Each structure stands twice: as structure tokens, then as C-alpha cells.
Amino acid sequence: MDVQAWTYLIVGLTFALYIGIAIWSRAGSTKEFYVAGAGVPPLANGMATAADWMSAASFISMAGLISFMGYDGSIYLMGWTGGYVLLALLLAPYLRKFGKFTVPDFVGDRYYSNAARTVAVICAIFVSFTYVAGQMRGVGVVFSRFLEVPINTGILIGMGIVFFYAVLGGMKGITYTQVAQYCVLIFAYMVPAIFISMYIAGTPIPQLGFGSELSDGSGFLLDKLDGLHSELGFSAYTDGSKPMIDVFFITFALMVGTAGLPHVIVRFFTVPKVRDARISAGWALVFIALLYTTAPAVAAFARYNLIDTVRDKGYTALAEDPKTQWFKTWEGTGLLAWTDKNEDGKIQYLGPKMNGGAAFKGKPSFAEGTGAEGQRLISNELTDNDNELYIDRDIMVLANPEIAGLPPWVIALVAAGGLAAALSTAAGLLLVISTSVAHDLIKKQINPDLNEKTEVLIARISVAFAVCIAGYFGINPPGFVAQVVAFAFGLAASSFFPVIIMGIFYKKMNKEGAIAGMLSGILFTAAYIIYFKFVNPAANNADNWLFGISPEGIGTVGMLINFAVSFIVAKITPAPPEDIQELVDSLRYPKGAGEASAH
Amino acid sequence: MEKGKLQEYWSTNLKYLLGLLVVWFVVSYGFGILLTDPLNAISFGGFKLGFWFAQQGSIYVFVILIFVYVSLMNRLDKKYDVHED
């Protein structure tokens, strides 16, 4: 069987499995639809959380980004794991004790205000949409590469499948599907990682191979990589090139953002007890860490292998060698492109210090015909530096199995894993959006008399709209998959995290403070990002940034603004009513002061 | 339960949180970011230490922190009789 057939088979089987689970566990009541009846065992919830949260960006793009960023890639590794410590320690147990369906529910009740609830709903919807667009793009990328359909068609197929999930299953269906999706995605990630670790470093454990000597005996992998980097004019792999302040702020924004993402928080409403909420955050991080400690190893292996393969090689030699056929394959998909600037027939891959940089402007657009060496011709405007090679970052994970010469079923497995990662996250996000609309907006604000059946129906209808909008952004994406997702984190960091923390740890925080804080935080962050990404992208460089903080890291500043504004406003406005302060007390004890005094 | 006891439970909880979050900050922002350069002078195996903390070590510590917190809190809940069931 060839790769194509294997891919159809494995992807088909996994889809059948997910759909089977979704049908078996479809939701009837609102409690089942929104929080899976609060009956999910902590271990399963940890797994579902991991799948919910590890997105197409984690699976497809992250290792690629790290591969190109070297040390700077640590922002994603620490940023997307460290938030779970905050979740477990500062949020999950208390929100579980609170025992409602959504984050806006908490904000609305804790701040005794429908205005606060509305602001929270808008933030939740905004954050979730930003995030879900990246997932749709990821689905499109996987489909286009492995099933050979155009990216946009891939997105449409993905939309259809996600729609099916989220509409039918609600949280209950999604949770158990996500458990299966976690197993698929981690297996699909680990198998090629183990093989490539054996191939390059001679040990089956990628985390160790990362720090090992190369199997050809030419020294430690990371030392070799640093050497190659300096030879080709890149900054050392283990040093990175971002300013320290930016690394600090981006990492913080990602951590706090993780802890403020509504689709992550809501997962802790689905376990039976406060104790379960704590431990399931721990399990979630174990399952996440498995992929996250493997990713940087894969990044280093792939980077080394890529440089070693293409450096100063003749294009024809690469194209003819059966071991490097992947180069041609990926050129075919447009994720690689080569333009022979100095017409020597060899590939020059150079970094900034050797007069390198982007080989040409923008993403490759291919012209008719082939060049002198048989390469695909591009019609982009060339840049005046010496680098000739364009490499899309997403290629690192997608092409790894081929680069390591693995059998076709492994390549098919990666396709299934990428889809599992994208679909599980998309479904979780769409659920948050539909819950926000049906429960927080329509039930709580517009029509409190809504019966359960109608509420579930409305939730299902709003999923439909959400999928369409998400699909639109997937087809017209604002940046790399991982970067789009990074913005959602900034927005979550600057809106939810502070209000929830203060709602639990600062009894005197009142509604005026919370609303003013959320609004100022998210408006500042969104304005900064929109200015640099959409209004004036030409100015998006360190000279124009506030204190040298990039749009990716600005959520940290937004969060600080949120905290500061809330405090000041809370000091000059009336304290919250007595019963709210008692509510806060009851959140703090698993068994609860409120319950105890009622006996 | 009386208020004083609960207050005590809460302040013990806050003490745990503070301690764990200090470790959280030190391994990631301290070792992984602010002090990477000096730590990179030390190497173990094929890793420079600062780089290892940024891409491996901090993640392992995060996992340990949560499990430590869980066991501390489960004990504390029992001691103050605020545990469920």
C-alpha cells in the first residue's frame, strides 16, 4: 500500500472511531451538553484536557517553530506548560467548588452584575474565535498535504467534521472523543520522534537523544548544531536572538493566557470533586509534558538533518538520491522552494550573518515550467540577499517521517495525529462559543424562561454559525498557525486571568473594578496587536514596540493594566455586598463554610 | 466549623501557594530566562544547563509542583476536616 492509501485508511478509521464515540455519548440535558454531567474521572479528564488544549499549533507547527528559533522557541515550551501550575494552584479547585457551567457564569455571579457577565461573554467569544481559526488552518494543511486536496477544500471538510462533533456530542461527547484523540495524537507524535532519535542520536528516548552524541560520532548534537548555525550565518541554536525582555513577557503572556483560556478552564467543571479538579490538572500536564519535552528534541533533530542534507548540495543530486526524495515531494506541495540566484546549481541556505534572510518576498507562488535543474520556478520578487531556500516551518513535523525514511503507515499516522489535535481543540472551542451564546447570552440575559430542550437546540444552532466564521478565518489566516494562537493567549491573559484570580483571592474586589479591569486589559492588548498586525504591519519591529515587547508578549502588559485598573477602581467604589464576600469564602474550602453552617 | 480554624486553613494554603510559585518562577523565569547565560557555562551531557532548563527541566519541575501541591492539599483538607466525602 502507498502513503495515500494508508492515509485514507488510518484517517478514515480514526474518524469512524470519533464519530462512534460521539454518537454513543451524545448529550440530552444542558448539564451534559455544557459540562458532561460533571461526572468525568480525573485521569480521563486530564487526557481530554491535554487533547483539548494541544492544538494543531502544538502538533504541527511548534516543533517547526522551535527548530527555526532555537533557544527562543522556549517561550512556547515553558509558556504552554507553566500555565497549568497556575491553573492547578490558583484556579481549578475554586472554580470547581463554584460549580456552574461557564467562566462568564463565575464572573457574572461573583461580580453580581450582568454587565460583567456580558463583558466576559464577549471576551470568551473573541478569544475562542481567534484560536479556532488557527485550528481550521491546521486541518486544511494536513488535508492538503496528505490527502492531496487544496487547503481551502481541506478546511471545508474539517468544518463539516467539527460541526458534527460539537453539535451532536456537546461536552460529554467531546470529552470521550478527546480521550481517544489524545491517544491517537500522542502515538502519532512519539513514533516518528522515537525513530528519528534512533536514526540521529542512537537512543529511542528523544529527551535523552537531544543531549546525546550524534550516531556518526562527530560530537554532541547541540554543539554540532551550534557550529553549523554559525557557519551558515544563523545565531547559535542554543542562544537565540530575541531580546530577553521579550522572551520574558511572551512566556508570561502564554502561561497566564493558558490559565485564562475559557475552553481550558471549563474542563475543570466536568470532574465530580474539588480534589479531582486539582489532580486532573496534574494529569493534564503529565500528558502534555510528554509531547512538550519531545518537541524540542524533534526540533533539534529535524534542524540538524535539514541543514546537513541541503547545505551546499546540488539540486539534481538531491532530487536523484532516493534518500532525499522528500525534498522533491515537499517542493511539490509548496512548503519548500528553491531559486538558483547565483546559477551554480547548488542550494545556498544562509542566515542573516552571511548575507542571508528570506529567499524571496512572501510565500512562494509557482510559475509554469521548471528551471535548469528541474526545480519548480517561482514568480515571487527576489530579495537581494544570497539565501536561495524557502522552508515553511510546518514542514518539520509533517516531513520528519519521510526524512527519516520511515514506512508509509507512519506518515499516515502523522496525518491522523495532526487531525486529532486540530479537531479536538476546535470542538472544545466551538463548545465554549455555543455555550456562551446559548447559556450566558440568551438564557441568562435575554430569555431566562428558556426550557432545557430549547437551550440545547440554540447551543447547537450557534455552533453552526461559529463553524462558518471560523472557517472563513481559516481560509484567510492572519499569520502562521502558532502565531495566530499566540494572540488568543494574550487576549485571555489580559481579560480573564486577573478577574478570576481577584474574584477568588481578593474578597473586596467589586463589579466596577472587574469590569473596568477587563475592558482596559483587553482593549489595550487588542489595540496593540491590531495596530502592529493589521493597521501598520510595516512598523512591526523592535524599534517601534513598547519597551521592546512584541505583540505576542503584550498580553502580559495588558494583564498588569487589568490588575492595576481593577485595584484602583475597586478602592474608590463601594465594597461588594456581604453575601458575595460569603460566596468567596465558600469557594475557598472544598467542603465549604456555607455548607457547614447550613447543617 | 468556626471561622478561626478556616482562616488558619486558608493561610496555610496561601503559604503553600507562595512556596510553590516561588519554585515555579525560579526554574522557568530564573534558570530558563534571566540566568540562562551564566548557567550555559555549565554543561551536563550534551546540554548547556540554562538551555536545558528552558526546554526540558522547567517542564519536569512544573509536573512535580502540581503533584506536590495535590498531596499537600489533600492532607490539609483532612486535617481541617474540609475534605469532600
Using one digit for the tens of pLDDT, what is the confidence trace for A193-212? 998 888 888 888 988 888 88
Spatial neighbors of A385 by CB under 8 A, at least 6 apart, are: A350, A355, A356, A357, A358, A359
CA of A531 vs chain B CAs: smallest distance (Å)? 28
A454: its cell numbers: 430549547
Per-residue pLDDT reduced to its tens digit, B12-70: 989 999 999 999 999 999 898 888 888 888 888 888 888 898 899 999 999 999 999 99
Backbone angles phi, psi at A388, to 5 degrees: -115, -5
Per-residue pLDDT reduced to its tens digit, A60-93: 888 888 888 888 888 899 998 999 999 999 988 8
CA of A129 vs chain B CAs: smallest distance (Å)? 28
Residue B15 lies in a domain: yes
Contact A437, A458 (CB under 8 A): yes
Instruction: State yes or no: pLDDT of A594 exceeds 70.
Output: no
The pLDDT, as a whole number, for residue A595 is: 36
Residue B85 lies in a domain: no
CA of B64 vs chain A CAs: smallest distance (Å)? 8
Q: Does residue A360 sit in helix, strand or coil?
A: strand
Per-residue pLDDT reduced to its tens digit, A296-332: 998 888 888 888 888 777 888 877 887 777 788 788 7
Per-residue pLDDT reduced to its tens digit, A119-134: 888 888 877 877 777 7
What is the ipTM, given to two decimal places?
Answer: 0.94
Q: Does residue B43 sit in helix, strand or coil?
A: strand
The pLDDT, as a whole number, for residue B59 is: 94
**Averaged pLDDT score across all residues of chain B:** 87
Instruction: State yes or no: pLDDT of A592 exceeds 70.
Output: no
Nearest CA in chain B to A272: B84
> H helices of A70-113, where?
74-86, 92-98, 103-110
Task: Give CA–CA dist A120/A436, Å, rounded.
Answer: 9
Q: Which of B29, B60, B84 sits opposite A590 (nearest CB)?
A: B84
> A56 or A246: which carries more pLDDT confidence?
A246
Q: Is A277 on the interface with B (CB under 8 A)?
A: no
Residues 246-265 of A with CB under 8 A from B: 247-248, 251-252, 255
Q: Do B66 and A71 touch (CB under 8 A)?
A: no
**Averaged pLDDT score across all residues of chain A:** 82
Residue B84 lies in a domain: no
Instruction: Quickly state the pLDDT bin for B1 (edges 50, 70, 90).
Output: low
In angstroms, what is the C-alpha Rg of chain B?
18
Q: Is A506 on the interface with B (CB under 8 A)?
A: no
The pLDDT, as a whole number, for residue A483 is: 56
CA of A278 vs chain B CAs: smallest distance (Å)? 6
Instruction: Name the residue range of residue B38's domain.
Output: 3-79
Task: Give CA–CA dist A470/A287, Å, rounded.
Answer: 27
Instruction: Quickly state the pLDDT bin for A27 (edges 50, 70, 90).
Output: low
Q: Do A592 and B51 touch (CB under 8 A)?
A: no
Instruction: Quickly state the pLDDT bin for A225 (edges 50, 70, 90).
Output: confident
Q: Does residue A375 sit in helix, strand or coil?
A: coil
Q: What is the number of domains present in chain B? A: 1
pLDDT (average), residues A337-350: 81
Chain A residues close to B66, C-beta within 8 Å: 84-85, 88-89, 278, 281-282, 285
pLDDT (average), residues A154-178: 79
Q: Which of A89, A296, A585 sits opposite B20 (nearest CB)?
A: A89
Instruction: Quickly state the pLDDT bin for A490 (edges 50, 70, 90).
Output: confident
> A481 or A233: which carries more pLDDT confidence?
A233
Q: Do A590 and B46 touch (CB under 8 A)?
A: no
Portion of chain A with pLDDT greater than 70, in percent: 96
Q: Is A245 on the interface with B (CB under 8 A)?
A: no
- Give the Å distances, CA to CA, from A122 to A103, A417, A445, A587: 11, 32, 13, 25
Chain B residues close to A286, C-beta within 8 Å: 63
Task: Find residue A103's DSSP bridge partners.
Answer: none
Q: Which of B33, B58, B82 sits opposite A589 (nearest CB)?
A: B82
The pLDDT, as a whole number, for residue A484 is: 58
Q: What is the count of residue pairs from A and B with beta carbons less than 8 Å apart? A: 138
Q: Do A591 and B84 touch (CB under 8 A)?
A: yes
Residue B57 lies in a domain: yes
Within 10 angstroms of residue B7's Cβ, the number of other Cβ atoms is: 12
Q: Is A210 on the interface with B (CB under 8 A)?
A: yes
Q: Which of B34, B66, B81 sits opposite A281 (nearest CB)?
A: B66
Instruction: State yes or no: pLDDT of A55 exceeds 80.
Output: yes
Q: Do B59 and A588 touch (CB under 8 A)?
A: no
Q: Is A183 on the interface with B (CB under 8 A)?
A: no
Instruction: State yes or no: pLDDT of A598 exceeds 50.
Output: no
Residues 72-101 of A with CB under 8 A from B: 73-74, 77-78, 81-82, 84-85, 88-90, 93
pLDDT (average), residues A453-476: 81
> Could you please report the per-residue DSSP string of A405-466?
T--HHHHHHHHHHHHHHHHHHHHHHHHHHHHIIIIIIIIIII-TT--HHHHHHHHHHHHHHH
* Grid-cell match 548575507, residue found: A355
One-letter amino acid at A599 equals H
The pLDDT, as a whole number, for residue A57 is: 76
Write b or e for each residue in A481-504: b if 16 or more Cβ atoms lie within 10 A of its Cβ, otherwise e: bbbbbbbbbbbbbbbbbbbbbbbb
